[in-house]
Amino acid sequence: MRSDNIKKGYLKAPHRSLLKAIGLTDEEIKNPIIGVANSGNEIIPGHIHLDKITEAVKAGIRIAGGTPIEFRTIGVCDGIAMGHQGMKYSLVSRDIIADSIEIMAEAHQFDGIVVVASCDKIVPGMLMALLRLNIPGIFISGGPMLCGFLPDKKELDLISVFEGVGRFLEGEITEEQLKIIEERACPGAGSCAGMFTANSMNCLSEALGLALPGNGTIPAVDARRIRLAKFTGMKVVELVKKNIKPLDIIRFESFKNAIVVDMAIGASTNTVLHLPAIANEGQIKLELEIFDQLSKITPNICKFSPASGQHLQDLDNAGGIPAVMKELSKKGLIEKECLTVSGEKIGEIIEKAEVYDRNVIRDIENPYMKEGGIAILKGSLAPNGAVVKQSAVKENMKRFIGKAIVFNSEEDAMKEVVKGKIKEGVIVIRYEGPKGGPGMREMLSITSVISGKGLEEKIALITDGRFSGGTRGPCVGHISPEAAEGGPIAYVKDGDIIEIDIPSRRIEVRIDEEEMRRRKKEIKILKKDLKGVLEKYSKLVHSANTGGILK
């Protein structure tokens, strides 16, 4: 066992003494030692209950004859960090989380590891750590939040509140009505109820094979979640005893499965940022082109908030991710031979699955769209690519031409939208990319206000930053190269004509080559005065089309 490095032989007597100082017996020290990374804290709704999940994982480890050792990681709530400088730190935290797990696991020579998280950047950070460490390990999430309800039984979630702000500004609802939405939208523990980034990644971890079936959809408050946590603890000990590691399970085809599920369920555009970063840790190359190739052949068979009123609890009741994959397998879209941490192949898992509700998981012959939920656009504005959640864009807005209204920060754009100064056109927000932000902020606040004001059929928004999984409408993010790296978006001016054509996968700015050359000579790239972790991150990070990996 790896842990022999801290416990076996007379030379390790000092190490054993320290282990006994924390209360371990000789019997516990002899067992496989399993690290349990708990990202629980008191600020994130998706994490306030993770102590209970972690205790259940530890119970499962003990049942199977292992010794659990819990440690903590940091975590950022993207919803609370949204719309201000705090959002610059969210994507940064992904790599710090991966680093911190690596440090703990290597310093203490754990035999295996279970990583416990729920929310946006924490989940991919932990999955990155699993592949980087390549010791037997499993991921378990805290599960999705239940949706809330208005007194008239209308379903609510966090997006209802963000868009409610826009409705209030338009005079559509009163401040008292907004207060009721605020009070009822998020009823308790769990990752916010729609197919936003957290739930997207929790579902895709099943498809990858790094989490047990049910991980993405069993609600946070359901007792099945506690039982799943116990099974996770038991299973990781089995993986240690059999010496089955993440890179024995994960291969390129595993990522293809995840991307196909991504397209089918209309997952967050942030998956295009996180899956390549996770793959990179396993020396697996995942380029933007594979997302678009699979999107073109994968029907979108599910619609969840923000694209509809359905939520993760509906997907769970309909059969969950195994049922989605079973439906996709009818068209040969699933690689059934891929292994999973359950010990079963994907094919064995989906063979037992059933679709219980065709209103939630459509027949593959009757999809919402013939293509997947995400599209990759390229063109003169984004030579290296850009990302849009096409499943959340109305059909009449999939082709849009408008005049640019340019801002060098999200705050400047938000002020003008809130004042009602912008009624139509293409809002361009730049210098918000991984390097230029730095940290590539999500822009749910501004996109929600635009939707809440009823302007999503008059305004498009493009940025070298990114969007929440809760964003809907013609919003194109991840524009690469970003402005800070001298990408074309840095040279766009007010009034330039911008064309977005999602079906043709194009995003263009109508500036001729001579004019672009002139602007590149005249316009200086904006440099920000940075310090601390943001300065380090800005120096190391790659463009969004690489997954925002660090050099």
Cβ-based neighbour number of residue 266 at 10 Å: 27
3-state secondary structure at position 173? coil
Q: Give the Cα separation of 58 and 78 in Å (integer).
A: 28
Question: Beta strand 459-463 with 137-141: parallel, antiparallel or unpaired?
Answer: unpaired
> Considering 191, 451, 468, 480, which one is annotated as catalytic?
468
3-state secondary structure at position 470? coil
- The alpha carbon of residue 172 and the mean position of all alpha carbons in its chain are separated, in whole angstroms, by 32
Assess whether the previous peptide bond of 124 is cis (omega < 30° from 0): no
Q: How is residue 299 written in tokens?
A: 């029907």
Contact 248, 343 (CB under 8 A): no
Q: Note the helical H segments in 185-300.
A: 197-208, 223-242, 246-249, 252-265, 271-281, 288-297
Contact 201, 271 (CB under 8 A): yes
Annotation says 329 is catalytic: no
Q: How is residue 41 written in tokens?
A: 């804290």
Contact 161, 306 (CB under 8 A): no
End-to-end alpha-carbon separation of the chain, Å?
A: 32
Contact 312, 222 (CB under 8 A): no
Active site residues: 468
